[in-house]
Amino acid sequence: MSWFRALKATARAGLAVERPKLEPFVALRGAAGLALVVGVSLALFGPLVAVSSAFGAFQAAIATFQRSWRPRPTLALASGATLAVSTFLGYLTGAHILLFLALLVVWTFAAGMAWSAGPTTGIIASSNVAIMLVTVTLPTSVAQAAGHAAVILAGGVVQAALVVLVPIRRWGAQRDALADALAAVADYARRLRHDPLALFDPAPLMTARSAAAVSRRQARRRPAELHGARGLAERIRPVLASLADPAVGVPPDGPQRARVDELLAAAATVLDTAARAVRHGRPAPVPAGALAALRTPDTGAVLTGPARRAAVRLAALLDDVVEAATPTDRGEVGDAGVTDDVRQRPTLLQLAPGALRRARGELRPASPVFRHAVRVSAVTAVGYAIGVLLPLGHGYWAPMAAVMAMRPDFTQTYGRSVARFCGTLVGVAVATGVVQGAHPGPWGSAALAVVCAFGMYLLMRTGYVAAQACVAAYVVFLLGTGGQEWTQTVPERVVLTLLGGVLAMVSYAVYPAWETPRLRTRLADWLAADGRYAACVAAHYAHPRDRPPAEVREALLGTRDARVAWQDTLERAAHEPVRHRGLSRAAATDAEHALGQFGRVAMLMEAHLPDRHTTPLPVAADLAEELRRATEQGAKAVRERRTPRWDALRASVAGWDRESVPDPVVRNGARLLVAALEELSEALADGDRPPAEDPAPPLSPSAAPRR
């Protein structure tokens, strides 16, 4: 993709406006906390303290909107505390340009490395640097600096207290995550009726698993309907796939297929009903027709073998889903609900050692996080120096715009830079017109700032450009509260915001961290993870047990993580202005389909794992070892830009017959696994050859055809 096309695509992405479900009451709560803090500060301490307290409350409320499963009060307190520390250190050095510049470089580099701990931590750290650049211009002494830091912390405490005192849709995010997982499995059941080989995107199940991790205190208060349903959805998915698949289920046509289609439709209806019950927290009656279809006694007469076992198991699992997802009168579980299988969410202090280890692991030149930290610290320092030297005043606008726009990947950095400038123009124009027409005083400006903050909280999910327009107006009104006229902020804000955006974009072009060259590494990681999962499943047939060993579950989670890493890299590489470097978009699409089928077959084999009374299958142990060895060697070949070969695995499976491998699931599954690996090799063989006309990077998952 050329630079012109890349800039056009990223600009379009940055200016896009989505239509998510708005949360006006949550936005109103955040704006009310801001109004309370600003009003009290303005009445008791004056405009300058009110401006500092407003930044603290404003940022703490933004932290509560981040996509995190951690309790909202914790996020607000963490944001307020870290912002207070940042601004206090900035206050102490603000009078000495060189000392403050050194602190700014160190603090910004640390904020850039904070992305290694996750996007929520990275966003809060970046916001702390941006706000520090503004607030250090307010006080003039150490005592005042301590006072301003204290009111910033108080702003975070107020927002945290409001979340506790005014709960809105308690456990709403967790309810949505679980409901989305159940709805995704329901949609999968419907798609299997038309495409028995349909693939399933495990992202909703992964999100629900992340949402299910709670502290011991939360576990005692979690609603009963949030227990158990996710695990049932995980177990239902392979049963649905095994029921529909022609290789281990029923033939493509005939009365058995008609019965399976009826069961799939009934399962989708039951799962959708359970999703509605979980999402809204109230019982949803299951249609009688769906229950009758699942419980009809003629299933055993129509279906036989593995298909019959899958149908019986599906009906039992769906009964459990209805029971688990239906809200009860008690609403919350007591101490008896705290069991050893609760996924524990560590506290922030418990996370600190692991976060430091991850940050140390990213301290290498090839790391995207390290390169982002270097870029953002250099751009912030250069932008601040240019802002100080230019005769515009308020030079912090340039570094503030840069640090808020920059992200570790190309698409977000360029898209946000364009969106920030356009949003700033709109916000400043509107705020300027209001100021010139109404001439509000400190109290009027404070009220207008709160209104803009409410708009920002409300529109945060719609896109960066809409939120940035509200932020631009908010800052103009807030500085007006401190006595600064609009003529002192508007011209330099527009010019310096443009300068900051340009610096951010130039820095990525000079010191990039392209995702396109990493595609083969991500694909190899996915192949190796899939191979470990299939090998663990095959080994269970050789050594049957009551329950699948823990390594099967761990291997499955590993394949999901590897698949998500591949898809994230593919999406980020979609608009990069670089060549494919050995993996064209057609090869990437075909390779993704092949590995998806490989994982699907391994999942089908897991759905029919034998119990301990089943006769061991010695040949399965050889299959497990061969799968592990072949996929590890294949992953190495993919990384080295060679086409993997599967001669030994193919020869081993080709010699099987009905007598040596009586289990049809293992026999057919092994052949399907080999077929998927050969499809992968064909895709990569095409990708190794330089294409005549294919300079574009791989398609993003959203642009790939649905299967």
In-domain check, residue 694: no
Give the Å distances, CA to CA, from 67 to 15, 64, 123, 179, 619.
Answer: 21, 8, 11, 17, 47
pLDDT at position 375:
94
Output the CA–CA distances (angstroms, integers) from residue 507 to 170, 377, 513, 593, in the order listed.
43, 11, 11, 36
Q: For residue 561, count other CB atoms closer than 10 A to its CB.
A: 15
Whether residues 549 and 667 fall in one domain: yes
Are 54 and 71 contained in the same domain?
Answer: yes
Nearest partner of 55 among 38, 30, 73, 77, judged by Cα: 38
337: pLDDT strictly greater than 60: no
Judge whether 541 and 617 are in contact, CB under 8 Å: yes
- Average pLDDT in the chain: 84
Last residue of a domain, one of 510, 544, 576: 510
Same domain, 623 and 502: no
Residue 588 lies in a domain: yes
**Rounded to 5, what percent of the chain is helix, strand, coil?**
75, 0, 25
Count of structural domains within the chain: 3
First to last CA, the chain: 26
386 located within any domain: yes
Cβ atoms of 426 and 527 within 8 Å: the answer is no
Packing angle, helices 142-165 and 24-44, rounded to 10: 150
Residues 154 and 184 in one domain: no
What confidence tier does 34 reach under pLDDT thresholds 50, 70, 90?
very high
Say if 333 falls within a structural domain: no
Q: Is the same domain home to 402 and 483? A: yes
Q: Which residue has the tokens 């006309």?
A: 693
Residues 125 and 56 in one domain: yes
- Specify if 342 maps to a domain: no
115-119, 358-362, 661-665: least confident range:
661-665
Predicted TM-score (pTM) of this structure: 0.84
Let me know whether 499 and 532 are in one domain: no
Tokens describing residue 185: 């499995």
Give the pLDDT confidence of 567-595 residue by residue, as tens digits. 999 988 888 888 766 688 888 999 999 99
Which of 296, 295, 291, 262 is CA-nearest to residue 274? 291
Is the predicted pLDDT of residue 342 greater than 70, yes or no? no
The answer to whether residues 506 and 556 belong to one domain is no
Alpha-carbon torsion (144, 150, 156, 161), positive or negative = negative
- 427 and 506 co-located in one domain: yes
Q: Is 570 part of any domain?
A: yes
Identity of the amino acid at 26: V
Residue at 136 is within a domain? yes
Torsion angles phi and psi, residue 344, rounded to 5? -80, 135
Confidence of residue 335 (pLDDT cuts 50, 70, 90): very low
> Nearest Cα to 464, choosing from 424, 493, 410, 504?
424
The answer on 542 and 488 residing in a single domain is: no
Is 97 part of any domain?
A: yes
Statement to judge: residues 610 and 578 lie in one domain: yes
266 and 302 share a domain? yes
CA distance 620 to 666: 8
Per-residue pLDDT, 585: 84
Q: Which domain holds residue 385?
A: 24-168+369-510
Q: How far is it, in rounded angstroms, from Cα 541 to Cα 76?
A: 50
Read off the CATH number of the domain in which 591 is found.
1.20.58
Other beta carbons less than 10 A from residue 403's beta carbon? 27
Query: CA-to-CA distance for 42 and 35, rounded, in angstroms?
Result: 10
